[in-house]
Structure 1
Amino acid sequence: MRIFLVWTLFPGGWAVTGPKQVTVEQGSSLAVSCSYKPRYKLNSKYWCRKSSLWPCLTSIIRTDGSEVTVTQDRVSIRDNHTENSFTVTLSSVTPGDAGQYSCGVKKVGINRWHSTKVMVSAAVSNTTEDSNLSPLTTNPLCPRGCGEPPVLSQPSVIHLLLLLSIKVPMALAVAAGAAWVRSRGRSPASIACDARGSQC
């Protein structure tokens, strides 16, 4: 009884084999290859979408038993008698293409098939929002890079040296002149008293 149940659920004793699950990126192409027993070489091969655990009744696309490629909308199928396998190709995959499918062999009586689950992943973008930003401009509070010492150009260095060589001596001369003017405004007696350090 157990053998009969296995034969019912998997007719042909794995006469058709293929991947149990495939994952494809949205927008790309899917290719699924299924192999079959040599005795089914001239049989029609098909690809269909399942709505339940039972085999699908209407095929999406099928061959006529030859090796001629058959194309319908986004789906194509091609049989290879030498390798005893056929390949189903689906182009421009969409999320709606995800689901349970069967690749099979048409046969008088009970068809032979293999179930494959198709999963569709989201497309991965190659660009990011910050790809055009340099590392030094990603922080608005530090547009030139935090922690980096300022770099002085050659004109800035020359200007700094001129300030030190001209303006500093001028400031010292002004201070000396002011001190001289103050000393000239005092009497000789007060100057002598300051020199002796005594009260006059």
Structure 2
Amino acid sequence: MFKRDPFRIEEILNGINARKDLVKRISKITEQRDLEILDVGCGILGSKFVNMYSERFPKTKVWGLDKRFYEEEKIELDFLFDRKMVKDKIIADARYMPFREECIDLAYAGWIIPHLVIENNGSYEIAKECYRVLRKGGLFVVEGKTIEKGITEKDLLEIGYQRFTKIQEYGIGQVFIGVK
């Protein structure tokens, strides 16, 4: 169980406020408010950003994709986060997603890229696979610290993303947004 460290709780609250701002920014970018979202590497609870977006726009359809789902995660994280569990869970490798081409409006990869950097495994393939499942004009949102070690702007442009924005002012690390 986590200890209730006041500095950690403050960091989490800053992250929540930053994500609320990110939800506002993303909703301004997207013309269609109720989206079909893929939460890549979501864990059992789903990412806070995706939960916040779907609360703001209730008709949003969320798919949660991860290699595995552990019930223990929910028990340990419950007191820190007010999250719904991911309803539509898909157990799959994010490098080989079981989706047809161009069926998702927004692919969100929160902190999976930094994990892959540590494992030295697959961040480019995940960005490429997200591109495959995104509809034209869809968004690929990547969040985390040390993202640039896992995937670069050059990589995203090579895959085919038309525009790519790096936002650094967030308390949640770096946020990159690629547009198909």
TM range (shorter): under 0.3
What is the TM-score when the length of structure 1 is the normalising length? 0.19
Structure in which a larger fraction of residues adopt helix: 2
Which structure would you say has the larger Rg? 1
What is the TM-score when the length of structure 2 is the normalising length? 0.20
